[in-house]
Structure 1
């Protein structure tokens, strides 16, 4: 006969083993042959934060161009990106683990590729039923994960009035943006908001520098007020750099020369100077986004070519023992060797050649250590409070009886309207 003590020990071990098995879902970086992964709505690249019930697409290219079979799997996650225990049929109407059937081979391009499109909803996956964090995995024929991407579905039952302000700390007043915001709702009466309400703050839709686990500073009735200083601050950064090669045979915006003597065209960009010690200068950007385009084609999705883009950076005062990467939405800001710059001692500059689909591309230089920890304070291009950035606040709420973290609303603001 088992004693009560034995039962307690068994229960503790079961809980401990369950916690060990709860693994955080991180995005799996795509291999070299998978390029130009993007979420789209109305044929426009978007940050993957969608209103519950809206449709969207996931698109990508396979440079092998062999019409490989790819499958997809969708997993619902909690606030911390740990898969929830909710049965799949409760958050997904229909089926996943289906083959992606919409694909087309490139046409009239030097670099062959197969272009894949996955629409959600579709014939098999008819609806995603609940809000929250999701991760979509693309699998090969052996059901091995090729790459994965996060996306978020949100409801619209709270409002989030917010404002971008300069930092109140004297040492960083010229360098940071601070977010002041509130959470209001006429639909939800918040239960224990200090515990049950959580927020995520994003800068330009990036998931690699989110601010989390900030509780309300105080409440006024059912309104939750957040007026922190360091807890809700982002390094302001600088405007994104860009190039445009919608005609790969001619040197245009920020492209110094074209190399047509190789199998694939090469675009050599003008050497960028590190802007950290220069005064701030406004440059129109799209906050890291990109647009696939070929002015000589009718369907850029399959007629835009790939080009070797040669990046170069002059940063003579860069002395940190860290790495420099080229990043943007075009490569999901990945800090992999494929995007790591190498120092050329003969020229005294950093260089990197990256295969990019032609069009308009925003990019920036990212400083990070070998573990992938980004150094925002010592950014190559500096930090300036005048920088134009988009900011998003996502509100998560779990009532005492709920089994998952709902995303009940979001707020957006732009630092063009910054105040002191």
Structure 2
């Protein structure tokens, strides 16, 4: 009887684990500048072709030269663990120590820079397309942080058209995505059941739209022309600053101070939700580590306290919770990037420790668990945003969700 109880308990735990949706875990305070990319400069959400490399870099500011280990998990479309054995999707081994690391050189802030490249001598190849989660552990097998990435196969053309919303209430504020999927070398059987889509704006999985089903077919093509279901808030162009020379006021910086570390004070931003749209080129929330004086930006760039400030409109509810937001912190909202309101000055303020570089950022509000990117910046259909569409396919009897195609576009040529 005891053996049966243990057996069924084991089956129950395995089932619960398989149904558990994996989420990204954000790092502790001493882990900074997580730079995750494939062959492009885009960070934080690599979408790479099967067989291409992926690189994860980060800094540890505690100065302990700790050992860190990585584990890789293959996932289904909905980010639950797939049933594939590790040997089925990974050629080699994971749970290996990250051996490529260097200490900072000639910086006020001491840190160690770690770099994980896949493939490497232990993890020779990732063999399947689909969703992946890479998790970083310390030497006590405690999870430090995790990040998602995707691998796709080029088996379908994915066409994307950007349109304004058909809803007259949001025609000036929302952007709508139309999709055409044209398989190249495969037959998509029963696509209503076997094909899933993921639409991502500016590499932000928090606002992604998932599981759109084809509305109709033309030949082998799958057509998606939704309105409400495929609409994103347009947002506004990101604000930005650059401090590749920490000793000189550059773009967006009006004052510099040196204490234990350099402090850069940014110009106070104004609430833009009630202002007309103005085109301002950005890099869609991304960031780039750069340094004007040194060759190796990974270990020779210093950390600087960046002081953000925002002056809201006079009718703004100052009891609102505000955050500084961007790809630099993986679009997270936590105490590190939370702003405080100074009633005597009438401004919100936040100080964040960031590595030298060029950064995009915006201000967002959080109310009852709902994030609002447009409360401060506004929403405009003219805003230039980046969009990616990933197409997932699990054939009848298939054991995992393949990614068979990737489409990418911007909304710069949006039409009615």
TM-score (norm 2): 0.95
Contact 2:165 2:176 in 1 (8 A): yes
Among candidates 76, 79, 85, match of residue 78 of structure 1? 76
Within 5 Å, give how 1:102-121 maps onto structure 2.
102-121=100-119
Equivalent of 2:162 in 161, 164, 168? 164
Distance in 1 (alpha carbons) for counterparts of 2:155 and 2:39: 24
Structure 1 residues 49 and 42: alpha-carbon distance in aligned structure 2, compared to 1, 3 A threshold: closer
| 1:320 Cα deviation after fit | 7.5
2:342 maps to 1:341: no
Q: Aligned to 2:156, what secondary structure does the other structure show?
A: coil
Q: Distance in 2 between matches of 1:404 and 1:150?
A: 17
- Point out the structure with the larger strand share: 2
Distance 1:58 1:28 in 2: 15
Shift, 1:219, TM fit: 1.3
Distance 1:13 1:305, change over 3 A: closer
Match of 1:200 in 2: 198
Residue 261 of structure 2 contacts residue 303 of structure 2 at CA under 8 Å; is this kept in 1? yes
Stretches of structure 1 lacking an aligned partner (at least 5 in a row): 1-6
- 1:124 to partner: Cα distance: 0.1
Q: Find the aligned partners of 1:189 and 1:352 in 2 and give their Cα distance.
A: 53
2:227 to 223, 226, 229: 229
What is the aligned partner in structure 1 of residue 247 from structure 2?
A: 249
What is the aligned counterpart of 1:368 among 362, 366, 369? Answer: 366
Q: SS at the partner of 1:44?
A: coil
Measured in 2, the distance between the counterparts of 1:33 and 1:55 equals 27
Q: Rate the CA distance shift 1:286–1:134 in 2: closer, same or farther, 3 A.
A: same
The 3 A distance-change label for structure 1 pair 225 and 30 is same
Which moved further from structure 2: 17-26 or 242-251? 17-26
2:237 equivalent among 212, 236, 239: 239
Aligned partners of 1:109 and 1:287: how far apart in 2? 29
Aligned 1:269-418 pairs, distance under 5 A = 269-316=266-313, 317-319=315-317, 322-369=320-367, 371=369, 373-376=370-373, 378-418=374-414
Give the conservation status (yes or no) of the 8 Å contact 2:38–2:48.
no
**1:85-96 map, 5 Å:** 85-96=83-94
The answer to whether the 8 A contact 1:239-1:387 is kept is: yes
**Aligned partner (choices 35, 38, 47) of residue 38 of structure 1:** 35
Gaps of 5+ in 2: none
Q: Distance in 2 between matches of 1:17 and 1:264?
A: 49
**Conserved 8 A contact 1:176-1:233:** yes
Runs of 4+ in 1 over 6 A off after TM superposition: 11-16
> How many pairs align?
409
DSSP 3-state at the match of 2:306: strand
For residue 64 of structure 2, what is the aligned residue in structure 1?
66
Q: CA RMSD of the aligned region, Å?
A: 1.9
TM-score using structure 1 length: 0.94
Q: Judging changes above 3 Å, is the alpha-carbon distance between structure 1 residues 64 and 406 closer, same or farther for their aligned structure 2 residues? A: same
- Checking the alignment, whether the CA contact within 8 Å between 1:58 and 1:119 is kept in structure 2 is yes
3-state secondary structure, aligned to 1:416: coil
Deviation track 1:219-252 (CA, whole Å, cap 9, x = no partner) reads: 1222110001001000000000000000001111
The DSSP-based 3-state class of the residue aligned with 1:159 is: strand
